[in-house]
Structure formats: structure tokens, C-alpha cells
Amino acid sequence: MSNVPGDLQYTRSHEWVRRLPNGELEMGITDHAQSALGDLVFVEVPPIDRKLARGEACAVVESVKAASDVYSPIAGRVTASNTQLAAQPELLNQDPYGQGWLMRLAPETGQGDADLISAVEYSKFLEDSQ
Amino acid sequence: MGLKTPLYDSARAQGGKFIDFGGWDLPVSFGSQLEEHHAVRREAGVFDVSHMGIVDIEGDRSQALLRELLANDVSKLTVPGRALYSCMLRPTGGIMDDLIVYLRGAGAYRLVVNAGTRAKDLAWITEHAARAGVQVRERTDLAMLAIQGPKARARAMPLLPEMLREPAARLQRFSAAEAGDWFVARTGYTGEDGFEVMLPADDAVSLWRALSAKEVRPIGLGARDTLRLEAGMNLYGNDMDESRHPLESGLEWTVAFEPRDRNFIGRAALEALRARADHALFVGLLLEERGVLRSHQRIDAPLPGSGDAPPPASRDAPPLAARDAPGALGEVTSGTFSPTLNRSIGLARVARGAGPQVLVDIRGKAHAARIVKPPFVREGRILIDL
């Protein structure tokens, strides 16, 4: 069974979102996503200051098997991206909710995040899509 | 639910992740595909390849039949047990399948064909065999395991039936020994030494389990693909199909044009293509940037004046067939990440005169790649300049 931490929010496209004390959001791909992709060998993260629309393709994670786009869960600006993944893409397999984080975003003001779902909802979504 | 091999339950119990492969439920990996790849390069692994078709052909005229059906010449097989790799062609020269044929005795051959083509292969072979009065029998009663890696033979040997152990130990490469319904060949699809064992389906589970106990770990289809690609071996359906002929698929070496009076199916078409000598070439590709080559990516000439790249292909180079992307030099037919090289590699079909430097379109961005001569890796050793 895949790990779905209760303190994070999720998207139906298998991204996770963590709210940071400074108001920014950290995001990555879920344990289910990394497991489905298999061994990751290439990760491309966006440059700092790039503006993203909600649902925009903003990163690429590529495994031995396949390439997959990662979508921005919110509208915002990139404040940091995990450049360590270029040299160590396996961090994303080993620790998807920690060292495998992809980027941090400063949300655009006035934008809701209605598409984000809770850990309980995401777990149910995974079960239903089995 | 797809077709299941006799090893389905065993592989499931070992944590295999299953996918559909040509109608069969087969494990793609048992955990980390990269670890499985390295296990075969460094130690030993076992693949369930029971989905492949095993076809026995017997009769006085079986040699004549196969000399007509196959582009390679089975008359090269003079000693029982010897094997030959060959294409089977349509009259157009298009590749129906690639297969291995073993000589088993006077007038007795065994073919091992791809799972995805077995039905049409059988229909084609049976139709020609009926005219020649030759018996064709598909051996669905047999399972097949590929045991591959530098330590594969040593670990597998004690698990073979007693009467096969000594003959198996003495096997030269690309030859086989048999006893009863057990058939052991020193062949494979990984670029490593090893055996391919055909055996009664009822015996397959116990051999699989015994191998696991001997530290021959189960390997899925994912690593099978990265291993064969590093070894520079074609995959039917990716690298060639009925719309492609051997000369543009890196398989000219498998076509026996001599002796000239052997009139195999596809010969006339291939001779005309060979005389025109304007067909595309089949090459290896090494990606020189980060990223991963995948099948169907487009290959272009480098931009003029970019760095120290040589000039693009000569203007005389004929364009690829009209069905290919206009202006493109060619297309990646198979691509992956190479765990041994820690780089991306591929096989590709390109116009003559292309390279050595080319550009590959990966999701809309041009990436520098270099044309190289496969294989990339054999027996654990890297054979190309990185």
C-alpha cells in the first residue's frame, strides 16, 4: 500500500502539497506516483521566479519506463526548486515526501485551491482507481 | 485478464508487478528495475519467457521448407544442437518475425518465435508445410526460462536433470542439448552468457524456485528491455515490423544471399533494394545531454555552424521514405536509460550520410546525440566511447 501522510494535501494527478510557515507551498509527487513510475533517472524542475498557472505542466519526472509531466497544483511563482534531483533522481523514489520535494511556490493572492483534496480523499481516490 | 504462464503464481508471490504484454500477464519488475538490470550484468537472473512460441518442425523436406521460409540459411546448421538467428520475410522483404532455429536431428528443427507474432507465424509456416508434407507442432506444453548473467550457468547447472548436466556444461555458445522434453541452449537476449531452458510446464515452478534459492533472482520485462538494448539487440514491433526490411533494420548480416540458387521468400525484393542501395541505415544513438531517448522521437541534422559539429548529411543523401516526418533525418526506434552507461541510449533508423552528430527532438526540445555502433555493452563491458 502506498504511503499517504495525513498532514499534506493532494491532487488527483498525484502531486502532494505542504503548507510552509511562511505561507509558501512545497510540492512533489506522491509515493503512489513514484512507485508507478519505477526507478527515476531524470528530473527537470522549473527555474526560480517562473510564474505558473494552476494545472500548468511545470516539471518532468522520467523513469526507465516512461516520462511524466508534473502539474502545478496552484497558480503562483516558483521560489525554490530541488536542484539536487538532477544528480540524484533516486531521492524521489526513496523519499518522495522529504528529500524528493520538487519545488516551492508563492501562491498568487486571491487564488483558491479548491482542487486540492485531503489525505483521506486521496486514499479513497487511489482505492477507487485500482 | 490476459494469458498466464505456468510461473504466474510464483512471480506474483515474489512481488512481481504485472503488465499486459501482447495479451500475456507478465511481470515488468519485482521491485527496482535498475537493481534487476545490474543483477544480470554482475551475477545472475532468471526471466520467464514462456509466452514465446516454440514450434517443432519435422519431416524429410523440413530443411527445404526452412530454406525457403527463412532469410538465413539453415543448411549452415550441420551439427545437431546448433542454432541460427534469422528473419522470416514476406515476399515484399518486410520482416514477419525474427526467430531462433535449432537443428535437433535429421529433418528435425525447433523454432522459437515472438509471442506477438506466433499466430500469424504458425499460419504462414503451416500453410507452406502442408504443401511440403512437413509436420508442424506448437509446443504449448513447454515453458521457457532464460537464465542470464556471468554466474548464471554455474548456478543453473546443478539444477538441470542429471543426464543433461554434462552436455550442458560442454555447450558452445549458440548451441543446445536435450534430454526428454528438457532442452537447454546457451543463448539469450541480454548480452550476457547464460542458458535458455525449455522444459515441461509442470517442471517450471520447481526450477524457478530452485533458482531463486541459488541466488538467481527473478527479473521482469523492464530490465529485459534495458539489457537487450544495451546489447544492441532488436525488438520486433519496435525496431522492425512487416513494413521494414532487414537491410534497414541492422539485420543484413542475418540474410544469406549465398548460395545464389537458394530462392528464399523475400529474396527478389531484397536483391532489388540492395542494388538500389538508397535505403535508410540502422544505427545506435548515445544521448550527449540529460534526458531519455524513446521510440518515435524525431532525429534532425545539427544546425549549421553550431559548435564543432560536422556539416549535416550530404545533399545527395536521399530522404527517408515519404511516410517519415518531412525533413527529418530519421527516427528513434527504441530508446531507454542505460543503467550500465548511466546515459540514455537508443536504436534508430536514419538516412545515409547522417551524423555522427545529430539532434533528437525530446518533447519539443533539440538534444545533442551521437551515432555509434551497437552493441553498447557485452558481458559487463562498455564497448562504446562515452
Domain ranges, ordered by start, for chain B = 8-50+140-230, 54-138, 280-382
ipTM: 0.81
- Is A60 in the B-facing interface, judged by CB distances under 8 Å? yes
- Is A39 in the B-facing interface, judged by CB distances under 8 Å? yes
Between the CA of residue A13 and those of B34, B94, B179, B354, what are the distances in Å?
25, 42, 54, 40
Between the CA of residue A40 and those of B27, B60, B84, what are the distances in Å?
19, 54, 37
B226 contacts in chain A (CB < 8 Å): 64
The C-alpha of A3 sits at a distance from chain B's nearest C-alpha, in angstroms, of 16
Nearest CA in chain B to A67: B292
The C-alpha of B294 sits at a distance from chain A's nearest C-alpha, in angstroms, of 8
- Domains B54-138 and B280-382 fall in the same CATH topology: no
Would you list the DSSP string of B170-183? TPPTTBEEEETTEE
Domain B280-382 sits in CATH at 2.40.30.110
Nearest CA in chain B to A34: B32
Domain B8-50+140-230 sits in CATH at 3.30.1360.120
| Residues 161-220, chain B, touching A (beta carbon < 8 A) | none
Measuring CA to CA, which residue among B238, B385, B209 is closest to residue B297? B238
Domains defined along chain A, listed by start: 9-110+117-122 (2.40.50.100)
Between the CA of residue B75 and those of B79, B102, B109, B344, what are the distances in Å?
10, 11, 12, 39
For testing the chain B interface, which of A41, A83, A92, A130 should be mutated: the one with the most B CBs within 10 Å? A41
Measuring CA to CA, which residue among B142, B96, B147 is closest to residue B120? B96
pTM listed for this prediction? 0.91
Strand partners, A42: A62
- Is A53 in the B-facing interface, judged by CB distances under 8 Å? no
- Compute the Cα dihedral for B179, B180, B186, B192 and give only its sign: negative
Domain B54-138 sits in CATH at 3.30.70.1400
Q: Is the pLDDT of residue A118 over 60?
A: yes
- Is A36 in the B-facing interface, judged by CB distances under 8 Å? no
| DSSP assignment letter at B236 | B
Nine cell digits for residue B256: 544469406
Give the pLDDT of residue B304: 74
- Tell how far CA B74 is from the center of its chain: 19
Measuring CA to CA, which residue among B361, B332, B335, B362 is closest to residue B348? B332
Give the pLDDT of residue B1: 74
Rounded Cα gap, residues B312 and B270, in angstroms: 29
Rounded Cα gap, residues A41 and B222, in angstroms: 14
Phi, psi of B206 (to 5 degrees): -70, -35
Contacts of A22 (CB under 8 A, 6+ apart): none
- Establish how many alpha carbons lie within 13 A of residue B291's alpha carbon, considering only the half-sphere containing its beta carbon: 20
pLDDT by 10-residue block (mean), chain B, 386 residues: 94 95 94 96 98 98 98 98 98 98 97 97 97 96 98 98 97 97 98 98 97 97 98 98 98 97 98 97 96 96 64 43 65 97 97 94 95 97 94
The C-alpha of B242 sits at a distance from chain A's nearest C-alpha, in angstroms, of 25
A60 contacts in chain B (CB < 8 Å): 363
A·B CB contacts under 8 A: 33
Report, as an integer, the average pLDDT of A68-93: 94
Q: Is the pLDDT of residue A112 over 90?
A: no
3-state DSSP of B186-233: CCCCCCCCEEEEEEEHHHHHHHHHHHHHCCCEECCHHHHHHHHHHCCC
Of all residues in chain A, what percent carry a pLDDT higher than 70? 95
- Is B19 in the A-facing interface, judged by CB distances under 8 Å? no
The alpha helices in B19-132, defined as continuous H runs, are 33-42, 62-69, 118-132
- State the pLDDT confidence band at A114, using cuts at 50, 70 and 90: low
Summary mean pLDDT of chain A: 93
Give the pLDDT of residue B327: 72
Measuring CA to CA, which residue among B198, B39, B66, B218 is closest to residue B134? B66
B337 contacts in chain A (CB < 8 Å): 41-42, 62, 64
Give the pLDDT of residue B323: 46
Strand partners, A76: A52, A107
